[in-house]
Amino acid sequence: MREKCAHVAFSLDRNRTIFARGGGIAEVRIEGRIEDAPPGFSLFGGSAKSLQRIRAQLRKAREDRTVKAVLLNIKSFSAGMGTTYELRREIEDLRSAGKKVVAYLEEGGMDLAVYLASAANRVVACPSSQIIVKGPYAQVMMLKGFLDKIGVEADMIRAGKYKTAVEPLTREELSEEAREQVQDLVDGMFVEITEKIATARKISTDKMEEILDRAAMWPEQAKRFGLIDHVGYYDDAKLVVAELLGKKEDNPDRVRTAGMRRRIYRSYSWTKPPKVAVLLASGEIVTGRSHTDFLFGSQYMGSETIVRQLRRLRGDRSVKAIVLRVDSPGGDGLASDLIWREVEKVKKSGKPIVVSMSDLAASGGYYISCGADKIIADPTTITGSIGVFGGKAVLAGTYEKLGINPETIKSAEHSDAFSPARRFTEEERRVFQEHIDHFYDDFVAKVSEGRGLDKNKVYEMAQGKVYTGRKAKMLGLVDEIGTLQDAIDTAAKMAGIKEKPHVVYVSPARGFFY
């Protein structure tokens, strides 16, 4: 006789809660320095807010049917261009979902704060604040004159005529190549900022030029130019939200808002949804473990840490796809190659891996990205820089100024090749140039293979030149312009996920201990 069995499944997810307080008005604070993956503790580096946590709050507000409006409290805003673009897209998504959005600028703001706020339905600025829209700029500190004074010489070798990162150490003025590419980056950011502000605020080209010529203005002037809608305080901003919702209210105390940071949501799913893992890879690329500089808070992306995480995610059967979120200026060639190889292994395993580029994905940052199944960049991401450089600091002049006489005893002709007491000899320079060129050729070959581009074409566009994300797409170095969420959606689709995936964020430990 066959026995009948009953199966009971327990949901591990939480069911949706009702937005009980706040009358359907959510409040999200966008305050201070915001980074893709905030650094760990440091003595002098300061703190930063997590882009992903702010994104999560905005997405909660978008998906919550009881939220009718969002008040954005933007204060002391500081972020990279790519990070700001991500937040702006989230605000646009809020509006696309039918939510009313009011941005309150208590301290006014400069270009990026205004660019961010312009995505809202209404913008309110404090009467005593300043609105400054002047266009982005770049300033490169040329250090050769200073190094000459202290007797230090940078003896550098490079591959790629646009690989100009060494110029501040070797030249007193920028070369034409360096000036050209920096100007291209500044122009790309200028177009993104001014066009989006002008379009969102319905400002004519002539008026936008007048705004830029004026640069700084008081809120009343900014209102006349169309940059903001209201001049008022926080209480006034709450009343503007109420007005957008069709509520006749003159007492701001009766306009209640609720934060989204700790709000808990539940789903009705009885099975675990498939996972898409987002691995945050931020900072200069180095061998060893990821860490934060103890003194100044600089972030370092350790190849050992990233490789270990990629290997773990590759072997985790509950993770159906991986998004590698890159925010890096590059770094050590060996470390970059180790991470690149692990990306290749993920791809060959059949598990989709998509790269999402943040503010920076240049040089080694592009190296670790080029082999992914797909690359999605922000329009102003600084990427490319397919080139190589190396060298050393020569302290012979410093030793002489200090009365130090280094006596060298060698076991072979080139034992002291990397000694700071002398320059490279011509023979050493030839050998090291060959090494640099070999690594450059390998870099180009990896880009050619990963991106499906002709190698000669890659050589033409490489040369160490940096590009905006938009330009990189035109050249075939990236696939799409979009946000991290776009990369998550793409990865899920490539993995055949039809339902909403469970997104898990993996942020390597950033303590200052190795």
In the predicted structure, residue 16 carries a pLDDT above the cut 50: no
pLDDT in tens, 414-460: 999 999 999 999 999 999 999 999 999 999 999 999 999 999 999 99
pLDDT in tens, 277-324: 999 999 999 999 999 888 888 999 999 999 999 999 999 999 999 999
Listed residue (433, 341, 352) closest to 156, CA to CA? 433
Based on the fold, state whether residues 366 and 461 are members of the same structural domain: yes
pLDDT at 273: 86
Q: What is the mean pLDDT of the chain?
A: 92
Listed residue (31, 250, 241) closest to 124, CA to CA? 241
Based on the fold, state whether residues 437 and 356 are members of the same structural domain: yes
pLDDT at 192: 97
Based on the fold, state whether residues 122 and 253 are members of the same structural domain: yes
Domain end (from 259, 292, 325): 259
pLDDT at 420: 96
Based on the fold, state whether residues 228 and 365 are members of the same structural domain: no
Q: Is residue 266 part of a domain?
A: no
Per-residue pLDDT band for 266 (boundaries 50, 70, 90) equals: low
Domain end (from 259, 294, 326): 259
Q: Is residue 143 part of a domain?
A: no
pLDDT in tens, 340-373: 999 999 999 999 999 999 999 999 999 999 999 9
Residue by residue, what is the 3-state secondary structure of 220-260? HHHHHHCCCCEECCHHHHHHHHHHHCCCCCCCHHHCCCEEC
- Read off the DSSP letter of residue 54: H
Longest Cα pair distance anywhere in the chain, in angstroms? 100
> For residues 353 and 366, what is the distance between their CA atoms, to the nearest angstrom?
15
- Read off the DSSP letter of residue 280: E
pLDDT at 267: 65
pLDDT in tens, 72-84: 999 999 999 999 9
* Full residue range of the structural domain in which residue 130 is found: 25-134+215-259
- Contact of 369 with 347, CB cutoff 8 Å: no
Domain end (from 197, 227, 259): 259
> For residues 33 and 113, what is the distance between their CA atoms, to the nearest angstrom?
12
- Read off the DSSP letter of residue 286: E
Based on the fold, state whether residues 450 and 323 are members of the same structural domain: yes
pLDDT at 294: 84
Based on the fold, state whether residues 45 and 130 are members of the same structural domain: yes
pLDDT in tens, 178-206: 999 999 999 999 999 999 999 999 999 99
Mean pLDDT of 477-504: 96
> For residues 467 and 432, what is the distance between their CA atoms, to the nearest angstrom?
27
In the predicted structure, residue 13 carries a pLDDT above the cut 70: no
Mean pLDDT of 9-27: 53
| 3 to 6, 7, 9, 460: CA distances (angstroms) | 10, 13, 19, 72
Higher pLDDT, 258 or 512: 258
Q: Is residue 514 part of a domain?
A: no
pTM: 0.91
pLDDT at 403: 97
In the predicted structure, residue 377 carries a pLDDT above the cut 90: yes
Q: Is residue 16 part of a domain?
A: no
In the predicted structure, residue 12 carries a pLDDT above the cut 80: no
In the predicted structure, residue 501 carries a pLDDT above the cut 70: yes
In the predicted structure, residue 8 carries a pLDDT above the cut 50: no
Q: Is residue 359 part of a domain?
A: yes
> For residues 280 and 356, what is the distance between their CA atoms, to the nearest angstrom?
10
Phi then psi dihedrals of residue 76, to 5 deg: 50, 40
Q: Is residue 6 part of a domain?
A: no
> For residues 155 and 423, what is the distance between their CA atoms, to the nearest angstrom?
7
The angle subtended at Cα 282 by Cα 41 and Cα 79, nearest 5°, is 80
Based on the fold, state whether residues 252 and 323 are members of the same structural domain: no
Q: What is the percentage of the chain residues whose pLDDT exceeds 70?
A: 93
Tokens of 287: 């061998």
Higher pLDDT, 209 or 47: 209
Based on the fold, state whether residues 247 and 293 are members of the same structural domain: no
> For residues 175 and 119, what is the distance between their CA atoms, to the nearest angstrom?
38
CB atoms inside a 10 Å sphere around CB 513 = 9
In the predicted structure, residue 22 carries a pLDDT above the cut 60: no
pLDDT in tens, 210-234: 999 999 999 999 999 999 999 999 9
pLDDT at 270: 66
* Domain CATH for 95: 3.90.226.10
Q: Is residue 270 part of a domain?
A: no
Lowest mean pLDDT among 37-46, 289-298, 370-379: 37-46
pLDDT at 99: 96
Based on the fold, state whether residues 351 and 468 are members of the same structural domain: yes
Residue 71 parent element (H or E): strand 69-78
Based on the fold, state whether residues 252 and 279 are members of the same structural domain: no
- Contact of 136 with 188, CB cutoff 8 Å: no
Count of domains in the chain? 2
Q: Is residue 209 part of a domain?
A: no
Based on the fold, state whether residues 254 and 299 are members of the same structural domain: no
Based on the fold, state whether residues 29 and 87 are members of the same structural domain: yes
